[in-house]
Amino acid sequence: MNPFKPAKIEWLTFFALSPVLVTIMNRLLFADNFLSIELLLKSYPLIFIYLLISWYLHVTVMHILRLKLPLFNQTYKRILYLFSSHIFFTTSSLLLIFWTYNHFHLFGYVIDYDKAKWCIVIGVVLTFVATSTWEGSYIYQLWKESLREKELLQKMNLQNELDALKSQVNPHFLFNSLNSLSSLIQENPHDAEKFLDEMSKVYRYILKNNEQELIDLSTELKFLQSYQHLLKTRYRDGLHIAVEAEKNSETYCLPPLTLQLLLENAVKHNVIMKNRPLKVTIAYEGNERLIVKNNLQKKTSKIPSNKVGLTNIAMKYKLLNQPEVIISETTEEFSVSIPLIKMKENEIINN
């Protein structure tokens, strides 16, 4: 957006209202003589130029405020600054016209403060009409964009659910899970029952997660316990998972399945062996962020990947107007830092 380039609706509003204000001003300046040929040829164009400059300042300030406060939930603050600045510019520009005419005695004018006051009142009212039209158009565009983003986010949630479900029901995962279950049934029926219970929790959570855009961190961590149980049963001492994010987890939210996708990404792309364990840590990071990191021991054979997981997570945070997801990789470690959304922000997003 170029803040110095007025939009079409702003031009149309100016040309619709400026003749009214120019006529009113000349009527207040020169009473019944406001339709004389001399004034029509000289005073009217002069006041029009004044108003054009003032209008351009109005529009430029409005555009700058939109760049500084672009979000839908910043509307009240933007409107407060907008109307305050517009009242200042309108009052200043109209007073300047009266002062100029009086100081140079243009067309024999002598200032009448009562009429000047009424001109400012009328000018402010017309400015409010124009500003309301411009801001109303902008808010309408924001609302349409918000609907598009919400629809896209819902589609991404469904895709995320589908990808997560596919990863759990693909032949390899299903075979390994059933194989683990079969072994447990013979060795330890009690553990087999626990495994089956956790497995059902995983599928139930995945199938239901698309019902909301965000979920509280405590619920996500409970789900992750079930998912961890399946992984630990399979990889045993080859996989170490440390979760250090239980504290205050009820006060934060994040998109559903975010942690599951990050854990799955670590398991999918790294070697997991008893003598070379994969160590995954999920912990709080400064400035209300959560970091998921693992030691890097990439598989030599390339794993087929559609690269949806990390991209999906990053796009969700972008659509929710949240800070970016930070992905970092060194020779020894891979980490993903994600923002945590406070409950109050969650209410704003859902509204």
Express each pLDDT in 241-275 by its tens digit: 999 988 888 899 998 888 988 998 898 889 999 99
Residue-level pLDDT at 27: 86
Query: CATH topology for 170-350?
Result: Heat Shock Protein 90 (3.30.565)
Longest dimension (CA), the chain: 109
End-to-end CA distance of the chain: 26
Q: Which tops the pLDDT comparison, 214 or 290?
A: 290
> SS3 for 64?
helix
Indicate the pLDDT class of residue 214, thresholds 50, 70 and 90. confident
Q: Which residue has the tokens 């007073």?
A: 95
Helices vs strands, H then E, count in the chain: 11, 8
Query: Domain locations in the chain?
Result: 8-147, 170-350
Provide mean pLDDT across the span 79-87: 86
Of 178, 200, 180, 176, whose CA–CA distance to 188 is shortest?
180
Between CA 171 and CA 222 the distance in angstroms is 26
Residue-level pLDDT at 177: 66
Of 300, 298, 297, 292, whose CA–CA distance to 335 is shortest?
292
Q: Which tops the pLDDT comparison, 136 or 159?
A: 136
